[in-house]
Copies of this chain bind each other. A is one copy, B any other.
Amino acid sequence: MPLSAHFPVWDKLTASQQDRISSSAFRKTFTKGTIVHNGSLDCAGLMLIRSGQLRAYILSPEGREISIYRLFDLDVCLFSASCIMNNIQFEVFIQAEKDTEVWIIPPWQYKKLMEESAPVANYTGDLMASRFSEVMWLIEQIMWKRFDQRLASFLLEECAIEGTTQLKLTHELIANHMGSAREVVTRMLRYFQSEGMVKLSRGGVEVLNRKRLEELREE
C-alpha cells in the first residue's frame, strides 16, 4: 500500500511534486498510549494513518483532558503539522489509542506544496473544515445536552468503534474523554447500572441495553 494510492489529491500533483513527496515521506509506528503530538512543542508533519487509531484532545491548565475527535485508518492528521498553518492559536494534543502506523509528510515539504498547488490548499481547508465540524458538534453537546445524554452517546460510540458491548474503559478514562471528573462519571454509571442499561466491573463497562441508551441520547 504505497502513499500515492491513498494521498487524496495525488493525481492533481505534478510529476515533480509527486517525486518530492514520495522521496520525503516516511513511515513511523507509535505504540498504544504514545503522545504523538504534544501541542506546539511538536510539528512532525502531516500524518496519513495506515492502521490504528489516534485521539485529539485539549488540556486544561490543571491537566484535565477532553477528547475533541478521533482518527481512523486512512484519515489524515492535520494538527501534527500545526506549525505550518497560519492563525492556529490553540494547542491540540494527539495520542495513539491503539498501535498506529502512519506515513508522515514533513511539514515544510507539505507547506511548499500548499503554496504551489490550489488543489492541495483546498484539500487542507476541507480537512480543517472537517475537524472544525467535529469541534462544533462537541460544543453543541456540551452546551445543549445533559451529562447523562453525553455519557450515553459516548458509550454507544465506543461500542461502534470497538465492535463490542464489552468496553475496557476505566471511569478515569471516560472522564478524560468527556472533560469531566471521575466522581461524576462513576455516579452516572451507577445510575445507568441501577436502570439496567450497563453492568459495571473492574476496569470495564458492559452495555446491556443499547436501545435505552439510544433513546436517552436522542431525548
Contacts and interface: CB of A to CB of B under 8 A. Distances in A.
Contacts of A90: 132-133, 136-137, 140
A84 to B, nearest CB: 11
A163 interface: no
A85 interface: yes
Contact of A129 (B68, B86, B136, B137): B86
A106 to B, nearest CB: 18
A126 interface: yes
Interface of A: 58, 60-62, 64, 66, 68, 85-90, 114-118, 120-122, 124-133, 135-140, 142-144, 179
Given A116-B118, A135-B136, 14 more contacts: A58-B140, A58-B143, A60-B140, A66-B143, A86-B129, A88-B133, A89-B136, A114-B122, A114-B125, A118-B120, A121-B121, A125-B125, A139-B139, A139-B142
